[in-house]
Chains A and B, each alone.
Chain A
Amino acid sequence: MTATRKIRVLIAKPGLDSHDRGAKIVARALRDAGMEVIYTGLRQTPEQIAETTLQEDVDVLGLSILSGAHTTLFQKIMKLLREKGMEDVLVFAGGIIPQEDVPALKKIGIKEVFGPGTPTSVLIEFVQGNVKERR
């Protein structure tokens, strides 16, 4: 039988800000690039995001945040993913994240951080190029 794999992506909004235009644009762009994109909706806790990542068995997790709480929340999310044995998921982030915070985020396993104005083509190439052959 022929296998039919698809890149599955979870786009999640941690924290308390309620602006998800960016998240939706990213979701739409990845959808149009042929991926299956799951969206969580607003105001998700790290526990909800980690558990959804697990149940949906996604290859990629995109975190969108504008509230400024990225360092705290991302640390929790990455810790939970590790605990659940999901360290092979490709994680990227976007939103309003100051440059000086980026190195610390990369250190905890976030592969890339994208700021406002990033062309969606850059994002698509990033995902396609970095998604691991997981199985």
Chain B
Amino acid sequence: MGQIEQLVQGVLQGNRRSIAKTITLIENNEPEAQKIISMLYPKTGRAHVIGVTGPTGSGKSTLIEKLIGELRKRGKTVGVVAVDPSSPFTGGAFLGDRVRMQEHSTDVGVFIRSMATRNALGGLAKATRDVIHVLDASGKDVVIVETVGAGQSEVEIVEVAQTVVVILAPGLGDDIQAIKAGIMEIADIFVVNKADRENANKAISDIQAMLEMNTEKTGWKPSVLKTTALTGEGVTELLAKIEEHKEHLKMGALEARRKEKVETELAEAIKQKVAESIIEDLKREGEWKKLAQKILARETDPYSAADMLLKKSKRN
């Protein structure tokens, strides 16, 4: 058996070292990555993928730790992908989500992986979707994805998760914030965490008022739950709501969501491949450097230069 086959076998058997190494290959976009994904893909689609998003400091990691605890009590195995931002200046990253999840670090039924965004926007890393596939194929019943501390428009999580939980905390803003577009539109479940603080009820009623105005599309009305992640209060109720959403999806919405997701995934794959191959081709010709120089000298602009290059490559 070759190295790739061995890794894939390992992942399918739930071997933690194989899972870890496979994720690294995928994250680094190594040449083996595509083959590995294609071998694992038939075994995916079994895990329930829960996305957890919300502003920095709202308690995402702490709440996830408590969710893992509840899921383990029910005998479910759990994979976690925790995404934190890369520095746009140095490319470095400080990945600190694990700090809150250490209670589960030696539980063999739990696999936690930290990922840096590597400058992808949208709240996830480029490879997050494929890392979810790896954990799914390894047999995890549930995969929880924690996005970077999301402000307003980091909504990519809807494209990878089946159930999206948006976590907010009291005191983050008024009802004006609650009706802004973006993150407030993606939740299947809202959680107001740190419910022991004052203003928690105000935050809840702001969100509820916003939801009143929603026109239902999928037959699911997002509810607003209260938790105190530090003590674990409200976590059982949250998990029950997640289960309820999962059941709701089974009634038809799941197929639609899956189809949508697969189409996005296909489009993304094409974009990536097309862009990469075109750029590689163009770089091989001398024209690329010449045009870059021209842009530098302000003799042309990037858009016109791109047009020129693309016209040329189409002729070939």
Residues in chain A within 8 A of chain B (CB atoms): 1-6, 8, 27-28, 30-41, 44-45, 47-48, 51-52, 54-57, 84-85, 135
Rounded to whole angstroms, the CA-CA distance of A4 and B29 in the bound complex is: 6
Of A30, A48, A57, the residue contacting B24 (CB under 8 A) is A57
A36-B86, A52-B105 are contacts. A85–B92 as well, Cβ < 8 Å? no
Q: Are A41 and B21 in contact (CB under 8 A)?
A: no
Q: Are B92 and A37 in contact (CB under 8 A)?
A: yes
Residues in chain B within 8 A of chain A (CB atoms): 16-17, 19-21, 23-25, 28-31, 33-34, 86-87, 90-96, 98-100, 102, 105-106, 111-114, 116, 118, 276
Rounded to whole angstroms, the CA-CA distance of A56 and B16 in the bound complex is: 10
Q: Are A52 and B98 in contact (CB under 8 A)?
A: yes
A1-B29, A1-B276 are contacts. A40–B20 as well, Cβ < 8 Å? no
Q: Are B29 and A2 in contact (CB under 8 A)?
A: yes
User: How many Cβ-Cβ contacts under 8 Å join chain A to chain B?
Assistant: 99
Q: Are A33 and B276 in contact (CB under 8 A)?
A: no
18 A–B contacts, CB within 8 A, in A order = A1-B29, A5-B28, A6-B116, A6-B118, A31-B90, A31-B93, A31-B94, A33-B90, A38-B114, A44-B102, A48-B105, A48-B106, A51-B16, A55-B16, A55-B111, A55-B112, A57-B21, A85-B17
Q: Are A33 and B113 in contact (CB under 8 A)?
A: no
Most A CB within 10 A of own CB, among B24, B31, B92, B96: B92
Smallest CB separation, A79 vs chain B (Å) = 15
- Residue numbers in B under 8 Å from A57 (CB-CB): 20-21, 23-24
- Residue numbers in A under 8 Å from B29 (CB-CB): 1-4
Q: A31-B87, A35-B93 are in contact. List 15 more A-B contacts (CB 8 A).
A: A1-B34, A2-B276, A27-B94, A32-B90, A33-B92, A34-B92, A36-B92, A37-B92, A37-B95, A39-B94, A40-B98, A41-B99, A56-B114, A57-B21, A57-B23
The B interface, classified by DSSP as helix, strand, loop or mixed, is mixed
Rounded to whole angstroms, the CA-CA distance of A23 and B17 in the bound complex is: 26
Least CB separation from B31: chain A residue: A1
Least CB separation from B92: chain A residue: A31
- Residue numbers in B under 8 Å from A5 (CB-CB): 28
Q: Are B90 and A34 in contact (CB under 8 A)?
A: yes
Smallest CB separation, B274 vs chain A (Å) = 13
Smallest CB separation, B212 vs chain A (Å) = 41
Q: Are A40 and B90 in contact (CB under 8 A)?
A: no
A30-B92, A31-B93 are contacts. A84–B99 as well, Cβ < 8 Å? no
Least CB separation from A50: chain B residue: B106
